[in-house]
Amino acid sequence: MHLVEKMVNKQLVTAETLKLATLKQNKVEVEVLRLDKIHEVISGNKWFKLKNYLSHAMLHNYRTVITFGGPYSNHIVATAWAANRTGLHSVGVIRGERPIHLSQSLQMAAHFGMHLKFISRSSFQNRKEAANVLALSREFKNSYLIEEGGFGLPGIQGSGEILELVEKARYSHILCAIGTGTMFLGLANGSDLKQQITGICILKGMPDLMPGYKDWLESPDKMDYCRIHYDYHFGGYAKKNQLLFNFMNRFYADTAIRTDFVYTGKLFYAAIDLVNKKHFPAGSRLLVIHSGGLQGNLSLPKGTLNF
Ligand SMILES: *Cc1c(COP(=O)(O)O)cnc(C)c1O
């Protein structure tokens, strides 16, 4: 278990105050929790989401961890790296046909020793059916399954520890990006009851996620303090446009903070836009979680970003 704790250096994480004219004008203070600095490979929220699964797998002497994801998944890379560090084998079940050229993420995962198994989109959708789970456990003996994105109680509980890095009572609002929602739920459970948890959903066409999230909240009363915004996906998961790139470049010029185009670029765009629209009352103190993911920018053509 100590091995898992020692994988990252939490001391590298800082909370940095943003100095932007619009924040002053709107009397809103923003601090950025730089989880992206925690480790160069397993950056951002991924270690928090994985730590309990890995400890469990080690404690119970599993040989292999199996997890799921798309070809650009940060979770796949993180699992490959972390399993490698703990001496566990890893298998990544990847959505879709094996491409001729592996994405940067899949190349990295393979580099860390992950066995990549490609399955069709429909099989991927049905991955939780008993017969499919059984087939995987037969193919990979003594293996421990981790859901896509680390979703589930151990992932949510691990993410709750993110707020132990700050003096959390200082903040009125906590903002984060939502992929699977594991981190969002962890932050909701790890926060004080009356702190607002604001999630920016980076997937398109999602229904209201809160009813499904309700059962994962430790206190049902927290529902009233959770809020998800669905209008900042820029066309969908990993979709991007010049408006987003211009924002990311300007944000870097103004703050020296790099963001990624899949999650944190959209998160900070939303945060600033919501401030401009006076969504947060004067006097609000926001903590925005920089959840990492910067290696995802490697898939962009050179020159797209100024950093
Ligand atoms: C994985 C990831 C997220 C999404 O986290 P969930 O817990 O799946 O919602 C957010 N930001 C970055 C940079 C990520 O890599």
Residue after which a domain boundary falls, among 120, 150, 180: 150
pLDDT for 203 equals 97
pLDDT digits (tens, 9 = 90+) for 80-114: 999 999 999 999 999 999 999 999 899 999 999 99
The b-or-e profile of 59-83 (16+ CB within 10 A means b, else e) is eeebebbbbbbbbbbbbbbbbbbbb
Residue after which a domain boundary falls, among 100, 115, 150: 150
Packing angle between helix 74-86 and helix 104-111, nearest 10 degrees? 10
Let me know whether 73 and 203 are in one domain: no
Q: Which of 226, 259, 291 for mutating ligand 1's site (highest number of atoms within 8 Å of CB)?
A: 291
Residue numbers of the domain that contains 199: 5-41+153-299
Report the CATH number at residue 11.
3.40.50.1100
pLDDT digits (tens, 9 = 90+) for 20-33: 999 999 999 999 99
Residue owning the nearest CA to atom 14 of ligand 1: 293
- Say if ligand 1 is within 6 A of residue 69 CB: no
CA 188/CA 195 separation, integer angstroms: 8
3-state secondary structure of 67: strand
pLDDT digits (tens, 9 = 90+) for 153-173: 999 999 999 999 999 999 999
Let me know whether 187 and 264 are in one domain: yes
pLDDT digits (tens, 9 = 90+) for 204-262: 999 999 999 999 999 999 999 999 999 999 999 999 999 999 999 999 999 999 999 99
